[in-house]
Structure 1
Amino acid sequence: MSDDTTAPVAAPFRNADAVFCGPLPVEISMEPIVSGAEFAYEDVLLDDDNGFFAVWACDAGVYPRHKDRRGSFMYLLEGGGSIVDEDGTEYELTADSILILPFGWKGRWKITKTVRKVYVHTTPVPPYREGVQKCTFVPTDEVAQDGVVFDGPDGTALLRTTEVGEHTEEMRGRARFVYVLSGIAVLENTDGSQTKLTSGATVGLPDGWSGTLRVTEPLRTFDVISTPAR
């Protein structure tokens, strides 16, 4: 007799302690480097067709970058510095700000105080935007506003509030990456396993995942929705 059951898709998770001060075991080169730290460190939650999802930290330095393969969505947990578009436009980076470097972006990082962040790399899907792209930046004092932050070939980023109650979640042809800003909820997988979501936690819901979100205090999140690469 054939077995038609499908194993539940796991939802990678880190609680607030792991996100803010947990070990970052993977060392990665920061080349090309103008000056500063030669390596960054990260804790990888997910690395597959859905996207690359990690907690990351790097000390001070200046790093030119060209987003010629993927888009990057970031929530800064701590640190300081700036991001500079190719045209010279500069944005100050502070804790609790949001930075999105879309596919096609060119510029440089200027880190002045160790930056720690939660971030997602996504593979863009056509139609692509032509030419060099500017970053999308949401300063700390604007993160309190719900709404779409970015929508493009790389995916969609939004700030949103999920009200108290039971909400069915089903990922089909897309993935959702979540950083919890405030509130309390329990995420229950189809196999009955549960994950408690509180401020500072982060979780990924890959393509094929389904379950229930039970919100007991309004849950405010920074979300990235991606289309998995095929």
Structure 2
Amino acid sequence: MTISLNAGSLSSAELEDKKELAPPTAAPLGGPMQTRSRRIFTSDDDRIISGTWECEPGESAWDFSDRGEVIHVLSGRMTCEEKNGTTTEVGPGTTAVFPIGWQGTWTIHETLRKVFVIYR
């Protein structure tokens, strides 16, 4: 079975799961951050989850102790700062890998939309 979705063409209203960013996903470091997402695949054992996710600007703390994530940014931009101080800028067309154990902050400068694969 092949699953296909043009995540870049969806309107924000077409993203099904709307909520504020909160643990265990990540902890906002300022005010509330609105997220919208749509899952397109979850493995039977929940070890792999894939979909598209959108988040409003703000700063948040991320802890990938129990999972890793691969993202491909469709729109928006953010700065990722690892716990050790290394920073990475990501924007449209960027693919980034956050391996199991990654800790740091994401500062979203413009509403960010990404395609993601979470793995455990």
Say yes or no: does 1:33 pair with 2:33: no
**Higher relative contact order, structure no. (Cα contacts within 8 Å, ≥ 6 residues apart):** 2
Structure 1 stretches of 4+ moved >6 Å? none
How far 1:12 moved relative to its partner?
A: 2.0
The alignment partner of 1:20 has SS state of: helix
What's the RMSD between the two structures over aligned residues?
A: 1.4
Name the CA distance, whole Å, in 2 between partners of 1:78 and 1:112.
11
How far 1:28 moved relative to its partner?
A: 3.8
Q: Which amino acid aligns with 1:105?
A: W
Say yes or no: does 1:42 pair with 2:29: no
Q: Which residue number corresponds to residue 79 of structure 1?
A: 76
Number of residue equivalences: 111
How far 1:119 moved relative to its partner?
A: 0.5
Say yes or no: does 1:97 pair with 2:97: no
Q: Which residue number corresponds to residue 109 of structure 1?
A: 106
Name the CA distance, whole Å, in 1 between partners of 2:80 and 2:32.
17
Name the CA distance, whole Å, in 2 between partners of 1:64 and 1:70.
15
Say yes or no: does 1:11 pair with 2:11: no
> In the TM superposition, what whole-angstrom CA distance separates every residue of 1:136-194 from its partner, at most 9, and x where no partner exists?
xxxxxxxxxxxxxxxxxxxxxxxxxxxxxxxxxxxxxxxxxxxxxxxxxxxxxxxxxxx
Task: Structure 1 unaligned segments of length 5 or more: list them.
Answer: 1-9, 124-230
Say yes or no: does 1:20 pair with 2:8: yes
Structure 1 length as normaliser, TM-score? Answer: 0.46
Q: 1:54 to 1:81 in 2, by over 3 A?
A: same
How far 1:69 moved relative to its partner?
A: 1.2
Task: Structure 2 unaligned segments of length 5 or more: list them.
Answer: none
1:76/1:96 contact within 8 Å kept: yes
Q: Which amino acid aligns with 1:108?
A: T
Name the CA distance, whole Å, in 2 between partners of 1:83 and 1:112.
11
**Superposition pairs of residues 63-212 of structure 1, within 5 angstroms:** 63-123=60-120
Identical-pair percentage: 22
How far 1:38 moved relative to its partner?
A: 2.7
Q: 1:60 to 1:36 in 2, by over 3 A?
A: farther
Name the CA distance, whole Å, in 2 between partners of 1:20 and 1:67.
25
Name the CA distance, whole Å, in 1 between partners of 2:102 and 2:88.
14
Structure 2 length as normaliser, TM-score? Answer: 0.85
How far 1:36 moved relative to its partner?
A: 4.3
